[in-house]
Amino acid sequence: MIHITLPDGSRRSYDQPVSGDEIAASIGKGLARDALAVKIDGELKDLATVIDRDAKIEIVTRKHPDALELLRHDAAHVLAEAVQELYPGTQITFGPAIENGFYYDFVRDEPFTPEDFLKIEQRMREIVDRDEKITREIWSRDEAVRWFKDHGEKYKAEWVLEIPKDEEISIYRQGSWLDMCTGPHLPSTAKLGKAFKLMKVSGAYWRGDANNQQLQRVYGTAWADEKQLQQYLTMLEEAEKRDHRRLGKEMNLFHQQEEAAGMVFWHPKGWTLYRTVENYLRGRLDQSGYVEVKTPQLVDRKLWEASGHWEKFRENMYLAENEAGLKEYVADPSQRIFALKPMNCPCHVQIFNQGLKSYRDLPLRLAEFGSCHRFEPGGALHGIMRVRNFTQDDAHIFCTEDQITAESVDFCRLLLEVYGDFGFTDVAVRFADRPLKRAGTDAIWDKAEAALKYAVERAQLPYTMAPGEGAFYGPKLEFHLKDTIGRSWQCGTLQVDFVLPERLDANYIAEDGQKHRPVMLHRAIFGSMERFLGILIENHAGKLPLWLAPLQVVVATITDDSRSYAEEVAGALRAAGLRVETDARNEKINYKVREHSLAKVPVLAVVGKREAEKREVALRRLGGNEQEVLALDEALNRLKAEARSPAGKSGAALAAGAF
């Protein structure tokens, strides 16, 4: 007998091996109709997979958390079939599911254009209507190579030869079309549905190497139903309106140019916004017992070799050599290579190592707004969200093993308070464990992962797992915040590291009088100042709250004879701590209102002859059509109160529910 346990705990028994679709049919016709795949002891498999042992199973339908990735993977295969039917001679390479969609890479002499998308989408719908059965086959290596070569698929044939000899080669046949794939897949093309859309085409390279053949990558999005698709497309339209690059130009915050690709030229207003955010966080860190440090930009490769970053991160580092220095310091010039720091942690260990530390000095919280450089591929750059020069709101807490939990809980509380102050109250946590490429022994990783799991559970924060996505020196928590249009952004991190203190010989004198290694907690709240500012701009569509706005008030005149009163009002506002400009140009007030609205100025203080006589101001709020006339003193007090930094009040209420 085969005993099958269902998600609700109920059990079913079968007197012979049974497939996923047979189990679904035995439960009910509706489930059999809706079934897409089966999960066997947590592993997603084709619905036709035969189960020949006792197992826990789930029947995956469109409502299941794993359904979207499955649908998107199949959408990529249907795309490839449609393209090869419409454009014979096109070669296929790979087509995975990705966040919010899928893509497929093609080799074709003629370039795809967005105009081709309607034709391809129509053929994809026809393939769905055909209800082509999707079946899995196992081929020998020679058979697979021969078939792909005979059909002009040299890239697939090349890839077959890369597959380890002990790994089986699975082929998925979709009607008369087929592809090499590990699966799983839907039972038939009809199960995909038609809630998909092709989005864009871009360049790529075979195996990600710029020296190889250039490919054409066609991107699409796919969803469980038409409603979800339309919601996603609407979100994209809204996101385009909020694009921080466009708003940055309209608000005169920053610009970027080819001579410094991936770097930011901050304009006065943008730098004011930057400093406002930085100073807010600096104040919060001061209150939380951090001490701020500053470390060099350029550091000898020897430190990066000792820390392990040279081996793991070398391809992303900017290097520099100084020939005069080579001759002065060493006989072997090849040893005098410097790197712009891609992260701050090894430098913070150097500060910790100066002088003898006692257990009484711990925890020691070293913070730095550290300027870092990383060579990101040109195609990955995105405004100020993904740059090559960025500032980390970085800190490293040197502590004992017994202090890991308390320090982690305190950090999580601080992080939630800060996010709350900026209006982000929906925060998800992911636990990223050991990656394949890592430093340290399995025993060290076991200890680090156990410590971090205990800490996040004591912080009462629910989390999901991100297998294999930890840093190379330790596991980490990732904090993902959701913006007003539903997008998720990964910002903060907390990492437990036993490895770097060992590699860089950090130690302290414990109560037993012996030297012990401290634990390093790597932590950041914003992650990257530039990225967080881009998120802020898009989250608010440029309409920043008064305390953040780089220009908070513009005092605008209606007539020329109110100029002196406008200057007086501006001076009073400035004395009250507000960021103010005066607009006394000889322009109509409606023109001024439109211009400053486009620049997203939160408050327009309008003054004319009557306001000057009565010592009043007419306040117009961004996005509103009404104005409020107030006495000057009342307007000053109100705006001063509104512009005050939240200083943790809203975040404290948020954090109170989590701890």
Secondary structure of 234-274 in HEC code, one letter for each residue: HHHHHHHHCCHHHHHHHCCCEECCHHHCCCCEECHHHHHHH
Catalytic one of 64, 269, 476, 596: 476
392 is catalytic: yes
Residues ≥6 apart with Cβ < 8 Å to 158: none
pLDDT of residue 437: 85
**Residue 314 is a catalytic residue:** no
Residue 540: active-site member: no
Quickly count: other Cβ atoms within 10 Å of residue 535's Cβ. Answer: 23
The backbone region for 89, taken as left when phi is positive above 0, alpha when psi lies in -120 to 50, beta otherwise, is: left
| pLDDT tens digit sequence for 517-527 | 999 999 999 99
Q: Which one, of 647, 630, 634, 620, lies nearest residue 547 by Cα?
A: 647
The catalytic position among 21, 46, 394, 483 is 394
- Looking at residue 208, its pLDDT comes to 85
Q: What is the pLDDT of residue 326?
A: 47
All domains in the chain, ordered by first residue: 2-60 (3.10.20.30), 67-233 (3.30.980.10), 258-297+341-539 (3.30.930.10), 553-642 (3.40.50.800)
The pTM of the full predicted model, rounded to 2 decimals, is 0.83
Per-residue pLDDT, 310: 92
Active-site residue, from 345, 347, 399, 412: 345
Q: Are 559 and 608 in contact (CB under 8 A)?
A: yes
Would you state the pLDDT for residue 330? 52
Alpha-helical runs (H) found in 343-485: 345-352, 404-421, 442-458
User: Coil, strand or helix: which one is 554?
Assistant: strand
The answer to whether 371 touches 318, Cβ cutoff 8 Å, is no
Query: Omega of the bond prior to 333 within 30 degrees of 0, cis?
Result: no
State both tokens at 247: 């708003």
* Active-site annotation holder among 309, 522, 592, 620: 522
Residue bearing tokens 């870092």: 372
Which of these is catalytic: 174, 392, 495, 552?
392
- CA distances (Å), origin 101, targets 41, 97, 197, 223, 641: 26, 6, 9, 8, 45
Alpha helices in 295-403 (DSSP H): 301-307, 309-313, 323-329, 345-352
Q: Please indicate whether residue 421 is annotated as part of the active site.
A: no
Q: Which of 64, 197, 244, 374 is catalytic?
A: 374
Helices (H), 315-425: 323-329, 345-352, 404-421
The backbone region for 603, taken as left when phi is positive above 0, alpha when psi lies in -120 to 50, beta otherwise, is beta
Whether 396 is catalytic: yes
Number of alpha carbons in the 13 Å side-chain half-sphere of residue 518 = 28
Please pick, among 217, 396, 503, 523, the residue that the annotation labels catalytic.
396
Annotated binding site for Zn(2+): 345, 396, 522
What is the predicted pLDDT for the residue at 653?
47
Dihedral, 134, 140, 146, 151 alpha carbons, nearest 10: 10
Chain-centroid distance, C-alpha 400: 31
CA end-to-end span of the chain, whole Å?
Answer: 48
Burial (CB count within 10 angstroms: exposed 0-12, middle 13-18, buried 19+), residue 246: middle
Give pLDDT, residue 40: 96
Q: Which residue has the tokens 């100042």?
A: 529
- Angstrom distance (rounded) from CA 275 to CA 112: 45
pLDDT of residue 325: 47
* Regions of the chain short of the pLDDT cut 50: 324-328, 652-654, 659
Q: Which of 560, 655, 569 is nearest to 617 (CA)?
A: 569
H/E segment holding residue 589? helix 589-598
Supply 368's token pair.
């730095």
Annotated binding site: 345, 396, 522
Read off the pLDDT of residues 584-623 as tens digits, 9 standing for 90 and up: 999 999 999 999 999 999 999 999 999 999 999 999 999 9
